[in-house]
């Protein structure tokens, strides 16, 4: 069985449950990396697996890499069979290209701390459901609530109140003035206010921030070549 937590949404959840390493082999252009990125389930870099990628596959476009890997396995006498397999593949609605899930930095709002007082308000009778039977549905959703991803993969959209300095450190506050007052008035903050998650290599945010970042798979458009 293939489990690729860094390149599949279902596999990502399996990887989190079983503490599997997250191994990213793709660049944002859909090419094979020169060395893999290996992370643990919390998004920290890990050396549990080697990051080496065979030289003959490095920098290959993803579809070309697939053919090259099959040829290499065949040359070693290890290829048993190739047969068609139905698979649901997402396509971008704008460019019509195959979309590859891959691991990126994202911003989340912790939903459990918001859900707790909402659940308590129903439990103590401050809020009542009519008909009452809908309480169970409400509790089921609120007690199993997932963190809310607020970052987007586009240049436009919601601004996130985060500022980055030249060393890649991240600062969160309501305004740039507040960030400077709470940290250092002399900070050089060339990158202000917009989280461009999913493109480039933005700094990873620390766990102590109000809106903590973590690595999750995102749908990233890469190549214009057919699958």
* pLDDT score at 219: 53
Q: Which residue has the higher pLDDT, 42 or 79?
A: 79
- In degrees and rounded to multiples of 5, residue 154 shows phi and psi of -125, 160
Q: Which residue has the higher pLDDT, 96 or 187?
A: 96
The string of pLDDT tens digits covering residues 100-111 is: 999 888 888 899
* Per-chain mean pLDDT for the chain: 82
* pLDDT score at 207: 28
Cα–Cα separations (whole angstroms), residue 116 to 107, 110, 141: 21, 11, 12
Burial 14-51 (b: 16+ CB within 10 A, else e): ebeeeebbbbbbbeeebbbeeebbbbebebeebeeeeb
Nearest to 41 by CA among 2, 62, 72, 15: 15
- What band does 87 get if pLDDT is binned at 50, 70 and 90? confident
Q: Which residue has the higher pLDDT, 130 or 163?
A: 130
| Residue 117 in this model has a pLDDT that exceeds 60 | yes
* pLDDT score at 212: 38
């Amino acid at each position: 069985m293939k489990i690729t937590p860094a390149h599949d949404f279902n596999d990502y959840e399996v990887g989190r449950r079983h503490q599997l390493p997250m191994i990213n082999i793709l660049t944002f252009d859909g090419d094979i990396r020169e060395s893999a990125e290996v992370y643990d389930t919390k998004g920290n870099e890990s050396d549990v697996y080697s990051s080496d990628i065979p030289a003959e596959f490095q920098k290959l476009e993803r579809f070309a890499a697939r053919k090259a890997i099959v040829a290499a396995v065949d040359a070693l006498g290890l290829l048993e069979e190739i047969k068609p397999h139905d698979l649901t593949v997402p396509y971008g609605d704008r460019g019509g290209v195959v979309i590859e899930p891959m691991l990126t930095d994202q911003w989340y709002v912790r939903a459990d701390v918001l859900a707790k007082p909402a659940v308590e308000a129903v439990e103590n009778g401050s809020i009542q459901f009519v008909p009452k039977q809908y309480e169970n549905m409400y509790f089921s959703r609120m007690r199993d609530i997932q963190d809310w991803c607020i970052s987007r993969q586009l240049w436009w959209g919601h601004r996130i109140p985060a500022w980055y300095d030249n060393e890649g450190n991240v600062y969160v506050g309501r305004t740039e003035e507040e960030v400077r007052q709470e940290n250092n008035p002399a900070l050089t903050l060339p990158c202000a206010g917009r989280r461009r998650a999913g493109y480039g290599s933005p700094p990873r945010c620390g766990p102590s921030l109000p809106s903590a970042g973590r690595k999750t798979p995102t749908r990233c458009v890469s190549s214009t070549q057919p699958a």
